[in-house]
Structure 1
């Protein structure tokens, strides 16, 4: 019933009494359903109880009631019910982050890591948070922790290289020696990815981009040309792989 009221609500008519009343009724029914079903011994009922809580949190979201203060205790309850489910921690951290409670958001991400230390998604979420906060060192630390959990996954090392390239390319406040260091670390990371998967098209593209940055920082013309030549070869190889993929050719 709560879901029916929820589906009838129109965000474009927010502020109209009859429309807003639909959300109030939806919330009331979600709360009743969650309380009743979560207390049941039946797995099916517990699953529906969890779903009711998820819908309740969504109803308190920014595109509906926009009431994070009421959403917070609901997500806290979801964490208590499923302490090993990382998505609940991510949701709570987002509530804190959106409210500007950054210390609390970071604590929740750390709790997610403690709850699921082997889950790569936890480290990616943590890296994304630090990146939004402009904390590059902590971003890289989280990405490297993720790579340590997946040593045979080329995407983990490729991702690190993209962050190094983005930092070196876009941050104009960096000193030249810092740019050199980040480019070199990016090359090391992407080389690791290519060792695992030599035909990794996206990694070839980023190594090409990193080498061009390295060439821009190089003072020796001959070394600069050598880097550009290598970058061109990587670009051409990536384009060939892209053509093969488009043609449905698999090596």
Structure 2
């Protein structure tokens, strides 16, 4: 009955049913396991973990409980616990492809790509159709610049799935991408080979690896550059951006601060430091760096947009509007500026100005979904129902999720 409730997405009823089953037979691990699985379905991770531990206490050889528990600990960022339970699951059931997959994910979180790749390989040996493992393994190889091995995985996938047209298509597209990237990389490697002290050429080579999404390879090259010249600002900037892309915010911040030390008058380190702080959730520090950026470069579009967005979230609408008007004075062809200003005019109940700005955003960027959504919503509020429907129809073709949201707003008016 619990399975039926879950199939119907009546999760509360399923949990209640399984709780009743556990109360009737508290020593039966099967009922507890089903209850834990139901908790996972509703994303009650802590309750699921507690229940899986009870399953293991009753039946220490229940490999699925170890596997599921390890996956949950990995999701919570409790990586040592994840390694322990996933390893136990594999010892109990060496054919558990999902346990190997989640073990690989855990090793990736620990930045041990070598062990992660090995675990993904084991998962694919057991289940060659496990696409998440395939994609993750290709990503590791690509980040390390191991394009031949990435192609090998895609070739294996195409051989094992001859009736899947996407497998052959993905292989062909990957070959084209890799060939294009390698032509540029090989040419730059020749220059670096002839001129090993040429910093600019070595940085261009790192940039080529970045374009090829071989971020780990690029990071190694840039670190070597910094070792050669600790005051090479461009290298610190690129390394900081790479760290930020990988959500290694402390390392990114350290690189941008070093770039500021090298040249306090360059606006770019301040801007990138602000991005790192904002992404890491340190909004006050981000604002301070955005303000420093504007002192050095008052017309920096991205900074004006980002700082105005922070002020808007803080309810400081008037100040945000001042920044956006300043932005549009410098750059009158910025669709994002008109969109954000239009949204703020809606908040201020100045609907004519809102309409003008949203229309201007679409004039500059006709396929701008957020502008279509907000203008459609505004048209409905203004009683211009045909125009609202027109925007809704456009969104249905390009952005179904936004279309559903606009449809719901219209139906509730």
Compute the TM-score of the two structures, normalised by the length of structure 1.
Answer: 0.52
SS state at 1:189 partner? helix
Structure 2 equivalent of residue 162 of structure 1? 339
- Stretches of structure 2 that go unaligned for 5 or more consecutive residues are 1-103, 116-143, 145-214, 395-413
**Aligned counterpart in structure 2 of residue 202 of structure 1, from 356, 366, 373:** 366
Structure 1 equivalent of residue 170 of structure 2? none
Contact 1:161 1:187 in 2 (8 A): no
Structure 2 equivalent of residue 104 of structure 1? 285
Distance in 2 between residues matched to 1:209 and 1:37, nearest whole Å: 50
Number of aligned residue pairs: give it. Answer: 188
Per-residue deviation at 1:110? Answer: 0.5
- Encode CA deviations 1:28-59: one digit per residue, 9 max, x unaligned: 875563153255xxxxxxxxx34532453256
**Aligned counterpart in structure 2 of residue 37 of structure 1, from 222, 229, 243:** 229
Per-residue deviation at 1:102? Answer: 1.7
Contact 1:212 1:228 in 2 (8 A): no
- Encode CA deviations 1:216-245: one digit per residue, 9 max, x unaligned: 35xxxxxx4xx557x48x97xx9xxxxxxx
Per-residue deviation at 1:72? Answer: 1.9
Structure 1 equivalent of residue 240 of structure 2? 57
Matching of residue 213 in structure 1 with residue 382 in structure 2:
no
Structure 1 equivalent of residue 167 of structure 2? none
Contact 1:190 1:203 in 2 (8 A): no
Contact 1:123 1:146 in 2 (8 A): yes
Contact 1:116 1:122 in 2 (8 A): no
Q: Which structure has the greater CA radius of gyration?
A: 2
Higher relative contact order (CA 8 A, sep 6+): 1
Distance in 2 between residues matched to 1:104 and 1:204, nearest whole Å: 31
Structure 2 equivalent of residue 119 of structure 1? 300
Distance in 1 between residues matched to 2:218 and 2:324, nearest whole Å: 40
Contact 1:160 1:186 in 2 (8 A): no
Structure 2 equivalent of residue 186 of structure 1? 354
C-alpha distance 210-52 of structure 1, shift in aligned 2 (>3 A): closer
CA RMSD of aligned residues (A): 4.8
- Stretches of structure 1 that go unaligned for 5 or more consecutive residues are 1-9, 40-48, 218-223, 239-251
SS state at 2:229 partner? helix
Contact 2:274 2:287 in 1 (8 A): yes
Contact 2:358 2:375 in 1 (8 A): no
Per-residue deviation at 1:107? Answer: 0.7
Distance in 2 between residues matched to 1:160 and 1:26, nearest whole Å: 34
Matching of residue 76 in structure 1 with residue 257 in structure 2:
yes
SS state at 2:298 partner? coil
